Amino acid sequence: MMEKYIWVFGSFVFAFLGTAHLVYTFFTNKFSSKTERVIIEMKSSSPILTRDTTMWKAWIGFNASHSSGAMFIGITNMYLMQFYFEILQIDPFYICFNILTVGFYLWLAKKYWFKIPFLGILLTLICYVTTFIIIHL
């Protein structure tokens, strides 16, 4: 039964990171450039793909969708592990797919982001791998 709570804790960390990211995106300037000129250029420049948006709007949209994805993964995993734990123990696909997904997020965090998301995602991955090992031993 401990493996269930380890998974839920890791999922909570992931959902928390996503929620914090969403709050930072819409209610703070934490993801804005320290260089005002960069912000001005992003607001007046469109990507090559289309003129229907600006780089600034795309930046906000990417951050918001990234946040909601992390929240979805975390909350869905908490819910499923809480109410469908017995089913998830039978077939390792769901747990393995989550481990691969969080592993990809960890790679992204290491390559492109900064220490806090890296450590939080690492903690989630450790919880997920630990759960997998306990279930399948």
Q: What number is the average pLDDT over the span 18-41?
A: 96
Predicted confidence at residue 69, as pLDDT, reads 96
Model pLDDT for residues 76-113, shown as the tens digit of each residue: 999 999 999 888 888 899 999 999 999 999 999 999 99
Instruction: Tell me the pLDDT band of 19, cut-offs 50, 70 and 90.
Output: very high
The model carries a pTM of 0.89
Q: What is the pLDDT of residues 56-82, one digit of tens each?
A: 999 999 999 999 999 999 999 999 999
137 pLDDT above the threshold of 90: no
Cα 109 from chain centroid (whole Å): 10
Is the Cβ–Cβ distance between 13 and 127 less than 8 Å? yes
Q: What confidence score (pLDDT) does residue 91 get?
A: 85
Amino acid (one-letter) located at 59: W
Mean pLDDT score of the chain, rounded to an integer?
Answer: 95
* Confidence band for 136, pLDDT divided at 50, 70 and 90: confident
Distance CA 33, CA 115 (A): 18
Q: Residue 134: how many CB atoms within 10 A of its CB?
A: 14
